[in-house]
Structure 1
């Protein structure tokens, strides 16, 4: 009798694990749909990414490239990997140019677009 009760408890525990796994599929499928939509429509996130977001992306990657990989940034900002590569490359060029000039580049246009993206 005790053996049967133990088996029932084991089965119930296994059922809870299985249910949690299956219940998590909905979220994983939504994430996959977003990623697939980005592949089909590269601008699925929206065509405009604020300069402040690009700067944050560059800062995160530069501070910890092992954690903030191109793939992770693409997923976090919901853009394609090629765009992340381009943003990081351009931000690197901007930083080099600012060092060369000795002062920050004029970013008034970016600030205006960040404020009024339409």
Structure 2
């Protein structure tokens, strides 16, 4: 079930990035521009430096951040499957996801998100 939810989140992120990339590049074709690793990094760059708290910051902000993180993780995993040099990025994003899954505290993922930014 978790993989299904993650896959849906990744698909949503991919669709959002498709629109964002098309707007930024001026491409009218609607095709995704960039590799899986580039798209994963784009999602990581959209994450806030301080992850939102589901209660204090509002559930919507928490949901958006965790969906972006899930999408980034899946894209990084795909990049690592295609090229092992992206494995550290995929591992770091998996660690961030696991910290949230275990603790239900997005702040616990902040060190891993910061580390992921260094791979981007």
What is the TM-score normalised by the length of structure 1? 0.28
What is the TM-score normalised by the length of structure 2? 0.28
